[in-house]
Structure 1
Amino acid sequence: MTLPRLDRAALDELRAGDRLSVPAARTVDCSVGIVHLGLGAFSRAHQAVYTEDAMLAAGGAEWGICGVTQRSADVHDRLAAQDGVYGVLTRGDGRATLRIVGVVREVLDGGAQTEALLDRLADPRIAVVTATVTEKGYRRAAGGGLDTRDPEVRADLAGGADLAGRPPVTVIGRLVRGLARRAHADAGPLTVVCCDNLPSNGTAVQRLVHDFCDALPGAEGGPLAEWIRASVTFPSSMVDRIVPTTTDDDRRDAAALSGRYDAGLVVAEPFSQWVVEDRFAGARPCWERAGVQLTDDVGPFEVMKLRLLNGVHSTLAYLGALRGHRTIAEAVRDDELRAIAEAMIRQDLIPTVEPPDGVDLGGYGHQVLARFADPALRHTCVQVAMDGTQKLPQRLLSAVSESLAAGRHPRYATLGVAAWMAYVARGRDVKGRALPLDDPLAATLGDVRGRTDADGVVDALLRLDAVFGPDLVDHTAWRRELTVDVQTLLTGAVPTVP
């Protein structure tokens, strides 16, 4: 039987129960106050849920979301047909619950509806912009600044900041053009909250915005940059929730709970965390009433998560994929790989992390592995393995560099780096199944695909300036150990570590 599709009208017919919750009328009918760039699964399971909860706690504040897709029209088409309504299927402890979310009030295709996006960014009713476009979406150069050699960045710069230029296609190009339109309309201050895994992500995005202004032709960037400095803030934030790819089984389970087909369904674990620097240019949702931690310094939370969670996640993904494991949960249940992850956290990563106030790093690491081990989430190794050149510097290499500089031996973190190199070079797991190479630098990485000489693989990959700094490239002892690990992994074995 074909089920009716979930949409706004269906909310009148749904009845909340033990395993199904539906949004309150005041969240469904609210006006838009936030623009979100990058309306992927994570944002729908994370920021949107926090925002809806904040509206409920505040008793009717107007913080509906205009969600903007960045590259693909698929998410737009799925959600637009449902009036922005979708479900979050939470899996954990052998139980699934479904929450219907109604706070996304408008869905825009960033590529086809650029003018509507720019108008939204210039709307005085918009007070906050949030973003989840992944690390690669920011088009950063090796030093963290804007990559002005990127052809799409160059095209956006050539279009200028004026209101009649070529429609921008990059996230920074769209943001700057929207800020220019906002300045021209005198629409008031704005807060831009980056929610991606970048070190000091607010500062990083602020730098990219000003780099873009500085690179604009003629003198048009100067006045715009001055307006941005006076009117826009870029608080940093740390976000955390595991959101695996939604499967047909997930959709069937959700439909059994709601009686509706949901093309926009997302799946998530029960755990969720959001830490935001309390530096807003104007009005904002009462996120703290929904569990968001507001702080003067996100840095310790950010480093803790990037290394103890993301660094271990990536290591398990590469080692697990090479060993033929399909999911992260399977990799954690592999006794040898779990021992590596536990030792990495304890010996290599915790010594590089300043604990946030009130956080026990050992307990946090234990919690991370428990979350990874939940078989209900089915987070695949190859999904976590994508975009390695963008993720490795902040997840593992920064910890390796700090450890070496302090005279420590980062044995397990080095193995994590080697696992990425072997994943790139082997291209197949121990069972002969292909391992996809999904990375912005895939064309360059392809040069080592299929190579079996560890020295050649290591030499070629260490030449990637966008990934490795000279402190590691020139560290002879570390390079030697890395090469030995890569050689072992290329044979299909896992190095024996103490």
Structure 2
Amino acid sequence: MTDRYVVHLGLGAFARSHTAWYTRHTGWRMIGFTGRGPGVARLLSRHGGAYHVLTRHPDHDAAERVEVLAGVHVGADLAAWLEACASPSTHVVTVTVTEKGYRLTPSGSLDLDDADVRADVELLRTAPFGAPARTAPGRLAQGLLARADRAPDAPVAVVGCDNLRGNGRLAERAVLGMLEAVPGRSEWVRGNVGFVSSMVDRITPAATPEDLAQVRALTGVDDPAAVVAEPFAEWVLDDAFPAQRPRWEVAGAVLTSQVAGHELRKLLVLNGAHTLLAHTGLLKDVRTVAGAIARPELLELLTAWWQAVRPLLPFPAPEVDAYERAVLERFRNARIEHRLTQIATDAAEKLRVRVLPLLNGNAVEQVVVEQLAAWIACWRAGVAPDDPLGPRLARAARGVPQEAAARMLALLDPALADDHDLRTRVGDRLRDF
């Protein structure tokens, strides 16, 4: 490998519309690894790693060819992963593996009760390079151990790019949790790896056959790896890199020491609203965010959510007003078919991250109860999308509202089932759906 590289883990649609899209203007190249199956790697390989971003503006479409990927590999390609992470030409590792990919407990520590996590810990302890790790933290640990062996004088940054507050810190906890079982190996990571948090934002709905046909019409290229995105994009990163990094600011990214406030604003105003609209909209047979916003009763719920969380935002009121207007404009872009079923996927994990931290006795709890009740009601009505906990959630949602609320809350966090006031309020609200 020559030049300067970013290695990316989790090469899904969002990474291609956001992280890789920002990197394309910096002069750096990326080595991409899929987080799960080989499908994306096969699709991207058809055009040598190049792909298109179809940007759906309110009144027209634009297709942009992105040529930044110098290599694309399946996540299980251990040799390629170790080589890429260990190369001194690699200065940054970026990660998009979704909230659940970090394998964390509700308190933010590595989930050592997870069977795959336990298997990876044992692998790292006995034969760290003997087989591909099963989990994202395990793969990161393997890559960093390879770097410690082959390029010990070359520090590297790991940048979290998932919708998690403090994603860099959480990645650090997950990786170090893995390495605690490997005597003497965590010290190099602590001293040479910078775990960088970032706030990411760009709505990227799943591409449909119609979207791919539009890319073909605009470009003349049959591109099965094309992604769809809204015009808006934002990336705010903690300016704490231990080595070189791409100049992402040339593409509009912001480097700052104040990422936390931007994370909180996005989490509450955008992501929290998405989760609320997904569950309440599915109960009313609404398919998209734009369709939900068009329903007065759902817009009223959204407004109530924003009013409740506003006091928690560390920004002046005019800035919050402007941000809410911008989000509404994005939600109303009907040419971005952001499906509610896509947003509601893995909802249990998203609720843990986006909603449960707000249960602190203030006025926000009223709309938190609304969120939790709508989520349970979706499972009771049989309109919830796929979820790793699906069978357990479906069973827990049965029965009288109070009992269903207690069982569902226990699946989010066992301590919630012991909160008599919360489960009573959620159960009472559940009766109204």
1:35 and 2:41 equivalent? no
Q: Which residue identity lines up with residue 130 of structure 1 in the other structure?
A: T
Cα distance in 2 between the residues matched to 1:224 and 1:160 = 10
Which secondary structure state, in structure 2, belongs to the residue aligned with residue 262 of structure 1?
A: coil
Matched ranges for 1:55-454 at <5 A: 55=27, 63-111=28-76, 113-160=77-124, 162=127, 164-187=129-152, 188-214=154-180, 216=181, 221-346=182-307, 348-355=308-315, 360-399=319-358, 401-402=359-360, 404=361, 406=362, 408=363, 410-428=365-383, 435-436=384-385, 438-449=386-397, 451-454=398-401
1:22 corresponding residue in structure 2: none
1:50 and 2:14 equivalent? no
1:200 CA drift (Å): 1.0
Cα shift readout 1:41-89 (whole Å, capped 9, x = no counterpart): 001000111111233xxxxxxx100110011111011001211000000
1:296 CA drift (Å): 0.7
1:142 CA drift (Å): 2.8
Which secondary structure state, in structure 2, belongs to the residue aligned with residue 488 of structure 1?
A: coil
1:485 and 2:432 equivalent? no
Q: Which residue identity lines up with residue 32 of structure 2 in the other structure?
A: G
Cα shift readout 1:354-405 (whole Å, capped 9, x = no counterpart): 22x8971122122212211211010111100011111102212222x13x1x
Identity rate of aligned residues, in percent? Answer: 37
CA contact (8 A) 2:106 2:352 kept: no
Cα distance in 2 between the residues matched to 1:473 and 1:203 = 28
So what's the TM-score if we normalise by structure 1? 0.83
CA contact (8 A) 1:315 1:416 kept: yes
What stretches of structure 2 of length at least 5 have no aligned partner? none
1:431 corresponding residue in structure 2: none
Cα distance in 1 between the residues matched to 2:5 and 2:374 = 44
CA contact (8 A) 1:69 1:76 kept: yes
Specify whether residues 275 and 49 from structure 1 end up closer, same or farther in structure 2 by C-alpha distance, changes over 3 A only: same
CA contact (8 A) 2:99 2:164 kept: yes
Cα distance in 2 between the residues matched to 1:196 and 1:133 = 7
Cα shift readout 1:193-222 (whole Å, capped 9, x = no counterpart): 0011122111111111111111x2xxxx24
So what's the TM-score if we normalise by structure 2? 0.95
Number of equivalenced pairs: 431
1:223 CA drift (Å): 2.3
Cα distance in 2 between the residues matched to 1:202 and 1:342 = 31
What stretches of structure 1 of length at least 5 have no aligned partner? 1-28, 56-62, 429-434, 490-498
Cα distance in 2 between the residues matched to 1:104 and 1:409 = 43
CA contact (8 A) 1:32 1:105 kept: no
Residue of 455, 460, 468 corresponding to 2:407: 460
Q: Which residue identity lines up with residue 145 of structure 2 in the other structure?
A: A
